[in-house]
Amino acid sequence: MFDCRYTVKSRTSDCELWAGHICRTISNLPSNVRVAIRITAENNGTRLGKGTDVSAEVIEEVSEPPQYIRFEWDNEYGLTLFWRHPDITNGPLQQFLITINEKEYLYNVSKEEAQYTYKLNLPEELTSQKITVEVKAKNSAGVSQPTNNSTYTPPKMPKFEEKLSIEKKTNTSIIVKIPRISNVEGDTSHMYIVITEMNRNEIINRENSHPIEHQLLKDLNISATNSWVASAFNLADSANTRGFVFQVGNDVVSHSTIDKNWKLQNNRLNAGSTYITYFVLNSTFEGFTRIRVSELTYTTLSTESRANLVLLFLIIPVILCIVCTLLIRRYRTKIVSYLSTKTGNSVATDHLPVTTNRPASSEHVYEVPLSSSSPEDTTSHLYEVPLLLLSGEDTTLTSPTTASTPLVNRNPNKSPVPVKAKNSNPIKICDLSEYTKKSIETGEFEKQHGMLQSGQTRAWTCGTQLRNKSKNRIANLIAYDHSRVKLTVINDDPFSDYINANYINGYKARKAYIATQAPTPNTVNDFWRMIWEKKVEHIIMIASLDEIEKKKIEKYWPDINETIKFDSIKVKYVSVVINANYETRHFSIRYEGEMRSIQQFHFLTWPEHGVPLYVRNISFFLKKIFSIPQGKAPLVVHCSSGVGRTGCIILCDICMRMATEKDQVDVLQYLHKLRQQRVNMVENVEQYKLIHLVLLQSLVAFDTGIVCNEATCKTIESRIAVNIEQELQYVKESAWQDAALRNPGFKFDLPIVSSKNRFNDILPDVASRICLTTYPASDPSSTYINAVSVDGFAAPAKFIVTQHPLNSTIGDFWRLINEKKVTTIVCLNVLNLKDNTTCMFYPFAGECPMKPVPYLEIKFVDKTVNEYFEVYNVTMTNLQTLEEDTHIKIIHLSNWHYSMLHPKNPVELVATYGEMMRLGRNSDTVLITCHDGAKACGLYVAMCFIIDNINMEQICDVSLAVRTIRRSRKQFVKKTEQYVFLYKCALEYIRQFETYSNFNSSHTSK
C-alpha cells in the first residue's frame, strides 16, 4: 500500500539538469529507508492514467562520475573545460576535483547545473604536449570515480628576440638583419618572407602558385595580385634560428626546403617603389598553429640616387655659398624686424618653407589568432597591437614610428596617398552588365577594392578600454568612436554605453543602418537594449547560428511561442514565415509596460567563408529589405563579425535606392563611405564582385522564373511557343556571371587518365571534379574518375554525376560509392551490353557476389519492378573495416536508350524523381549515372533542381536550373529539345497536384 502522506501533484515542467526529462524534488522523506514511488499522468478533464512504480533508498552515497569532458582553447593558453552533471549524484554535490597532469584544482558547486565550465591558464612548461584531464564529483559521502579525457596543448608563440633592422638599401634590394628566433617548438616551425609592392601596376600571374603560398597570403589578408613569397625557412634547422642577414630582391629562384615542388622567387625590387616585407613565424603542434607577423615598410632608392651622390660633391661649394647667403639674409631680417617693432612700421620678409622628413622604414609586429583544426578550438581572436594605435583623441591615426608619419596600411593595394577622385565611379544602369563583365575579365574590381584602406583608419579608443574588450567578438574589429552607437549608461557604470555597433548613413539618409556584430553571451542584453533604445523595428541577420559545424552565434531569441527575459526586456517569439533561403520572424518585446513589434529577416544560405550558391536568392532577399521605408528607425544588420556580409547587404541596399532615383550606381564611392564609418566593410574582392552581380540581377537581369499559380500551365505553354530561343540565348550570354563567383580552388596537377574516359571531350571540370583515394598506393592514376559534383536547389554538392563504368573502371565506380557514402543510385540509360565499353556493374538474382576491388563485396538482395524503372536492392560490405553492411538502392530506368535526348514521356522522369526522393530521404548525396555522364544526367539533375525549386519557393525557373548545373559540366542540356522537355516535366509535376498549396514554399508557424 502507498502512504498518501507523500502524495505530490504538480504541473509538468522541464528538468533543468536533464533536457527532455521531467523532474520533481520530494522533500522531507525519512532517512535510511527504502521508499516506493508511483508516478501517474493526468490530462485536463480525464482520470489518472496507469502509474509506473519505482523504489529508491533514502541514503547518501558516493556520486556517479561526471560526464563528457570537452575542451576549448583561447589565444593566451587559456583552457576552458566543460563537463556534464553526473546522472546520479546520491546527494547534494559539494565540489568537483579537477586533475591535470597530477596537478589538482577545485571547483566549488554553488548551484547544480546541466553543464559546468572551468577556465584556467596552463603554465608554459605544458605547451606542445598531450595532457590528461580528470574530473571527479564530491558529496558528503566521498569522491566519485574519475571521468577523464586527453587533449593536446598549443605551442608557444615564436618570436624574434630583437627588432628587425635594415642594414643596407639599394635601388633593387635591401639587406635585412634577422635576429635570433626563440620559442620554436611543435611538430613543424617555419619562417616565411613575403613581399608586397604598393601600387604595383602589373598583376602577378597566380596560375601555378603553390597551395602553401595561396593560403599564406590569404591568412595575412593581403592581395595576391601584388605579393609573393621570397623565401621560406624550416626552423627545425637550428641554423635558421640563430640570426642571419638576408637580402630581399637578390633575383634568385630557389626551391623551398619545406616542399621541394614549391619554387620561390626572390624578385628584384623596383627602384623608388614602396614595399612591405612580412616576416611570418609559425609553429604547429597537433593541429594548433601559432603565428607572429613582423612587418618592415620601406622605399627603395631611386635610379638617380647614385648619380646624385657624385653630383653632390660637385655642388657642395655652391650649397655653401647659398647657405652663407641665407644666413646673411636671416641676420638682416632679424635686424629689420627689430627696427620694425621699434618704429611700428611693417617690414617685408622672405619666408622659407618648413619640411619634415619621413623615416626610411618602420616596423610593425602583430600576432595572428590561434588557429586549430581541432573541433575544440575557440572562435575568439587576439592581436598584439601597438599601444599608440589605441590611444589619442584624433580620429586620423598615425604610425607607431612617429606622430607625423601616416599609418601604414596592411592592405598592399591601397594607394599611400588616397586620391578622392578615385573613390567614385558612377555607372549607368544600361551599362552595368558590360561594365561588370569587363571589370571581372580585366581585374578592375581587384584594383578598385585594393585602393580602399583596410584595417583601422579611425580612433576606436572606447572599444579598446579594458572593461570593453570582452564585448568585441574579434579583437581587431572594433567600433569607431565617431560613429559608434552609444547606449544609455546604466547602474552608474561608465562603460555600459559601449556596444560593437556603428551607425551607417544610407542613400540620402543619415543613420539609416546600424552595422553590428552578432551578439555574444555577454552582450546579448546590450543588443536588446540597443534595439529598444534606438526604436529598431527590423533586424537583418546574414549568418547561421552554426557554421562549419561550430556554434558561431549566440541565439538571441526564444523558441516559438516562448518568452525570454534579457535583463529588463522581455522578448516573445510570435510567428515565423519559412522560405527556401530565409525566414521572417515576428517578435514582440516589452519593457516597463510598453510593447513593440520587431521583424527579423534571417538569410540562411550565405556561408561564412565564400558567397551564396545563387545570386538570385540574395536578389529576392534584398527586395524584401528594399521594401522597408527609411527614415523612421535604423535598420540593424549583422552577420558574425558585422563587416563582410553585413557590408554587402548594406551596400547593395544603398545602391538599389540610388538606382531607383538616379538610374545609376556608384559602388566604389559608397563602399569608401562605409569604410569611413566601420572598419573593413565588404572584406574581400569576392564580396565586391558579388555586389555588382547582385545589382545586375536585381536591376537588369531577365526574370526567367514563373510563379506557380492557376495560370502557370498557360504561361509555360506560351513560353515554349514564343520565348525558348531567347531564353537559351540568355543562358548562354549569362554564363560569365555564373563563372565569376566559382571558387576554382588550387589548380593541382592532377592527371586526366584518357583510358578511363568513354569520350575524351567530356572531362571533369577542375573546380567540380571528384578525386578518389589512391588504391593501390603505388598507382597515382587511381585517384582519377570521370565524375563531377553538381549542386541541387539549395543543396550544394547534392549530386555526383558520372558515366556508366567501363570494364576497367568498375572498381573505381564502387570505390566512389564507398568513399562518398552513397546509398541511392539513379541509372538513367539502358545498358547496351553489345557495346564492348559497357558492362553490368551490379549483381542480379542468383549471381555470386561481385568484388569490384578486393576489399568491397556487392550482394544482390531483391528487386522491385515499376512501369518505368526497376529498383535493385544490394548490400556493400567493406572487408577492410568490417563495418555494418551498407544497403544501396539502384533505380534503373527501363526505356531510355542513350541515343535519345530524353524519354518519350515526362511522366517517366517525374516518377523517377518521386522514387529517388522516397528512397534517398536520408541520403546527403545521390549518384546519377548515364552512358556518357552528360546527356541524360544533365537533363535529370536539372529537372530535380526545377521540382525542388517549385516545392520550396513555388517558382519554376528552368533557366536558373540549367545555369547552375552547367557550372559543373558545360555539356549539360545543350539541345533546345531538352530545354523544352524540362518545361514539360515541370508541367507534369504541377498537374499531379490538385492545389498549388501542396508545394507552397512559405510555411507559417504560430
Are residues 108 and 23 part of one domain?
A: no
Rounded CA-CA distance 930/912 in Å is: 14
Q: What is the DSSP letter of 358?
A: P
Confidence (pLDDT) at 937:
98
Are residues 266 and 210 part of one domain?
A: yes
Rounded CA-CA distance 667/61 in Å is: 70
Confidence (pLDDT) at 567:
93
279 occurs within a structural domain: yes
In sequence order, what are the residues at sequence separation of 6 or more whose Cβ sits closer than 8 angstroms to the Cβ of residue 230? 193, 194, 195, 248, 249, 264, 265, 266, 267, 277
Task: List the domain range (segments joined by +) for residue 634.
Answer: 458-656
Pick the last residue of a domain from 16, 36, 59.
Answer: 59
Active site residues: 639
956 occurs within a structural domain: yes
Question: For residue 440, which amino acid is it?
Answer: I
Q: Helices 958-966 and 935-953 meet at what angle, rounded to 10?
A: 130
941 occurs within a structural domain: yes
Pick the last residue of a domain from 274, 299, 324.
Answer: 299
Pick the last residue of a domain from 299, 323, 338.
Answer: 299
Are residues 271 and 181 part of one domain?
A: yes
Are residues 543 and 587 part of one domain?
A: yes
579 occurs within a structural domain: yes
CATH value at residue 87: 2.60.40.10
Q: Is the pTM of this model over 0.85?
A: no
Are residues 618 and 492 part of one domain?
A: yes
Q: Which residues of 851-883 are buried (b: 16+ CB within 10 A; e: fewer)?
A: ebbeebbbbbeeeeeeebbebbebebbeeeeee
Are residues 175 and 148 part of one domain?
A: no
Confidence (pLDDT) at 846:
86
Interior angle at CA 289, CA 285 and CA 292, nearest 5: 130
Are residues 941 and 840 part of one domain?
A: yes
pLDDT tens for each residue of 787-829? 999 999 988 899 999 999 999 999 999 999 999 999 999 999 9
Are residues 112 and 46 part of one domain?
A: no
425 occurs within a structural domain: no
Residues with pLDDT less than 50, the chain: 1-4, 333-361, 372-421, 744-748, 995-997, 999-1002
988 occurs within a structural domain: no
Are residues 648 and 537 part of one domain?
A: yes
Are residues 118 and 181 part of one domain?
A: no
Are residues 207 and 139 part of one domain?
A: no
Confidence (pLDDT) at 347:
32
Confidence (pLDDT) at 1005:
56
| Total domains present in the chain | 5
953 occurs within a structural domain: yes
DSSP, residue by residue, 952-997: HHSEE-HHHHHHHHHTT-TTSS-SHHHHHHHHHHHHHHHHT-SSGG
Is 849 strand, coil or helix?
coil
Are residues 798 and 783 part of one domain?
A: yes
DSSP, residue by residue, 611-668: --S-HHHHHHHHHHHHTSPSSSSPEEEE-SSSSHHHHHHHHHHHHHHHHHHHSEE-HH
641 occurs within a structural domain: yes
CATH value at residue 510: 3.90.190.10
